[in-house]
């Protein structure tokens, strides 16, 4: 199963949350099957977004798209972000 992992420093989490939730349909059109947002303990401006995808190539197309770049750069507000496509190769119950 492919995933998109986004590591992002957000300037204003409330704004980020509103945009993230508001863009769910757009991500779905690109092939996203949903995901989760995590905040780093002790540093809530550092966020990890993990999105499940239907296809690794479509996931890569998404993170390479100008639409994603503009949204990520806006959310980061001059701070850093990194996006990577991952393929799940192993699971564990513990």
Cα 48–chain centre separation: 7
Beta strands in 1-94 (DSSP E): 2-9, 32-40, 43-53, 81-87
- The better pLDDT of the pair 79, 48 is held by 48
Show the CA angle centred on residue 30, arms to residues 79 and 38, nearest 5°: 40
CATH number of 2-87: 3.30.70.100
Three-class DSSP category at 80: coil
- For the beta carbon of residue 57, count every other beta carbon within 10 angstroms: 12
Please determine, for residue 19, whether its predicted confidence score (pLDDT) is greater than 70: yes
Average predicted confidence (pLDDT) for the chain? 92
- What pLDDT, in 10s, does the model give residues 33-65? 999 999 999 999 899 999 999 999 999 999 999
**pTM of the predicted model, to two decimals?**
0.89
Cα 82–chain centre separation: 9
């Amino acid at each position: 199963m492919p995933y998109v992992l986004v590591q992002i420093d957000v300037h204003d989490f409330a704004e980020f949350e509103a945009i993230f939730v508001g863009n769910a349909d757009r991500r779905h059109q690109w092939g996203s099957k949903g995901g989760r947002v995590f905040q780093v303990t002790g540093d809530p401006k550092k966020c990890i977004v993990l999105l499940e995808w239907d296809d690794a190539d479509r996931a890569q197309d998404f993170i390479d798209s100008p639409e994603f770049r503009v949204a990520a750069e806006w959310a980061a507000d001059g701070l850093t972000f990194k996006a990577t496509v991952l393929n799940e190769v192993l699971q564990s119950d513990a």
